[in-house]
Chain A
Amino acid sequence: MVEMTYGGAIRQALFTAMAADDDVYVFGEDVAKFGGVFGITKGLYEKFGPKRVKNTPLSEGAIIGEAIGAALYGLKPVAEIQFSDFITTAMSPLIDVAANYHYRNNASLPLVIRMPSGGGMRIGNFHSKCLEAWFYHVPGLKIVVPSTPRDAKGMLLAAIKDPDPVLFLEQKKLYYTVKEEVEEEYFEIPLGFARTVRAGSDLTLVTYGAMVGLGLEASQEASKQGISVEVIDLRTLTPLDEATLKTSLAKTHRAILLHEAVKRGGVGGDIASLLMENCFEDLAAPLLRVGAEFCPVPAAPALEDAYLPSVEKVLAAIDRVMKY
């Protein structure tokens, strides 16, 4: 075990996967000698050379196109989209081709698209959005949103082995801010399984990505008021681990959905509906959502703070649900 940052764990996973399998290769804007704008691919070029670590022109559509074609040919492409915000310029190949390819053509597309996602860094609307709900709505894509270094490494390795297109939504705010001990050797964390980060009996806080830390903080605050919150990190949105959620709700009977993305039209709304449909009899209170406010991501610190979910907003939701 060695201590790794979230970003370092992702880099480790890329080294490990490329060393283990010649079919894995990495490409995207500035990923070669420069090591990517967040430094995640640093050192890969020196180790694996220009064939396997390749700068591309500034063309997201073409990057996704290459990933699809290379995967179809049998390689395991890992493409980087510099900021998840820029995937919007490549929606057609991703949604119209990659997502439904297996269903329509009975052939796998083992590709991974890594995308730094999310805000809190004062870099404005073009560089901070959480767009996962767009992809969550599309059958055929798998969506991974790791919240810890260990998950980031293990799930990226699993994603590279996965036969389907996987969107790997890296939480850029965590790159250099969270660290933990992680196994140095190859290991996989299978996609589709949530993790109970903290056990509790009064209420289930369902969250993922950069909000897991916030959820934990809020649950610690709540415990001071005698409320026992179970925190579940979804880790993947598709496939969704419904079983873990159902088991938790059968115990706590209450739930809050927390995510960084805008609340309106977000993943939380869908999961809340799903739980209402499937855990109808278990529920002691209506479900609540906490997410970002319904406006573009602002840059000024005071505005971005007001925009994002906060411990206070989560505690207010907990209070409301508990008082029901």
Chain B
Amino acid sequence: MELTPDLLKTLYRYLVTTRTLENRVATICQSQNANDPLIVGKGYLSAGQEAISVGAAHALRQGDWLAVGHRDMGAHLVRGITPQEIFAQYFCRATSLTQGRDENIHFGCTDKKILGFISHMGASACVANGLAAAMKYRGDPNFVLTTFGDGASSQGIVHESLNYAAVFKLPVVFIINNNGYAISTPVQEQFAVKNLADRAAGYGISGILVDGNDVVAVYQNALKARDHVLAGKGPVLMECKTMRMCGHGTHDSAGYVPRDEIEAWEKRDPLLLMKEQLVKEIDFTEEADKKLSLEVNELIEAAWQAAAKASGPRAEDLLTGVYTEGNLSDVNFRGRSRML
């Protein structure tokens, strides 16, 4: 895929939108009334690592599936989840993707081919395999992209899933966003290999190491990985190195991260890097950047205010939807079109 000016600008716009949306989540968390909070629970932000989610999701085509982690706001936006839907989710509104039954980043959207988020770290990897196996079964020319953190990569299910995908040559791209920390635990207390991509050899699959702050590099490598898995050459393990530039959640000030580590990474902010590239390579100016910020800001302001107006779920609906109504042949699969 050619890197047209439009594509570069689109990537940047998603980075800015993700950052703006999540900054708004953070400010609401800080300023809200504790007795009647707008945001239920905490915010989990992707500050500093937006490029992984945005870049990787751009490699998806319509029939492909996405199995997200908890720092994939960018991928949700790229896949077409709207900021208003995201705020409705954060506010636990009845109109949210989980009907207010779950909160913050604990959602997905089957119609948009996003696996409902699984909080048990790493567990999405095994489901990604299932989706990929079904694609292969049907002969569909699609693949599954799944992302998770360095911490999640310690889970047994991740190792099992990589091995399983390798054996069946499943069209799955496993992306590890190695952002330095799992809550407070630094990577050196999480694993002893230098690069997580090196693990690929142990499963007999391809591993790629990518700069996770370079959205174009992530995008291009994800495309390469997509071609690889669709050519039947087996799954790919792609490690994107980055840094979590915030606490684990909005309640965590990340006091355990050394100051100089943060300062070093601040210089490599993915938004900054991308902007520099735009200015250097195409006709992008400071002015255009300001205009974009204003536009995105307005969009986000309108989104959260509209979501705040929606009503919450009703207690009467507590027990609806635990099971599917009707039998399988009655179920309206909507966008899933025989996807089950």
Contacts and interface: CB of A to CB of B under 8 A. Distances in A.
Interface of A: 29-30, 33-34, 37, 55, 57-62, 85-86, 88-89, 122-127, 293-296, 298-303, 305-307
A296 B322 contact: yes
Interface size band for B: 35 or more
Contacts of B154: 57-59, 62
A125 B102 contact: yes
Interface in B73-119: 92, 98, 100-103, 106, 118-119
Contacts of B123: 89
B292 interface: no
B101 A299 contact: yes
Contacts of A305: 315
Given A299-B100, A307-B318, 19 more contacts: A29-B185, A30-B184, A34-B256, A57-B151, A58-B121, A58-B152, A61-B156, A88-B120, A89-B156, A293-B318, A295-B318, A296-B101, A298-B318, A299-B98, A300-B313, A302-B314, A303-B100, A303-B318, A305-B315
A100 to B, nearest CB: 21
9 contacts: A30-B184, A57-B151, A58-B121, A89-B155, A124-B41, A126-B118, A302-B315, A303-B101, A307-B318
A155 B317 CA distance: 40
A33 B185 CA distance: 9
A274 B237 CA distance: 53
B134 interface: no
Given A126-B119, A127-B119, A58 B313 contact: no
B6 interface: no
A295 B41 contact: no
Contacts of B185: 29-30, 34, 55, 57-58
Nearest to B40: A122
A89 B185 CA distance: 20
Contacts of A127: 119
Contacts of A303: 100-101, 313, 315, 317-318
Contact of B120 (A89, A293, A298): A89
A302 B184 contact: no
A58 B318 contact: no
Contacts of B182: 29-30, 58
Contacts of A294: 319, 322
A301 B314 contact: no
Contacts of A126: 106, 118-120
Given A57-B189, A126-B119, A299 B318 contact: no
A293 B190 CA distance: 38
A80 to B, nearest CB: 13
A55 B182 CA distance: 11
B183 interface: yes
Nearest to B154: A57
A214 to B, nearest CB: 18
B63 interface: no
B130 interface: no
Given A58-B152, A58-B182, A299-B41, A89 B157 contact: yes
Most buried by A among B120, B123, B256: B120
Contact of B189 (A55, A293, A298): A55
A198 B185 CA distance: 44
A124 B119 CA distance: 10
A57 B92 contact: no
A306 B318 CA distance: 7
Most buried by B among A37, A58, A295: A58
Contacts of A300: 40, 92, 100-101, 103, 312-313
Contacts of A293: 318-319
Contacts of A61: 155-156
Contacts of B314: 302
A92 to B, nearest CB: 9
A57 B191 CA distance: 7
Interface string B27-48: 0000000000000110000000
B160 to A, nearest CB: 11
Contacts of B151: 57-58
Nearest to B96: A300
Interface in B286-340: 312-315, 317-319, 322
Contacts of B319: 293-295
B320 to A, nearest CB: 9
Most buried by B among A55, A57, A61: A57
Nearest to B318: A306
Contacts of A86: 120
B209 to A, nearest CB: 20
A33 B157 CA distance: 27
B119 A57 contact: no
Given A57-B151, A293-B319, A305-B315, A298 B100 contact: yes
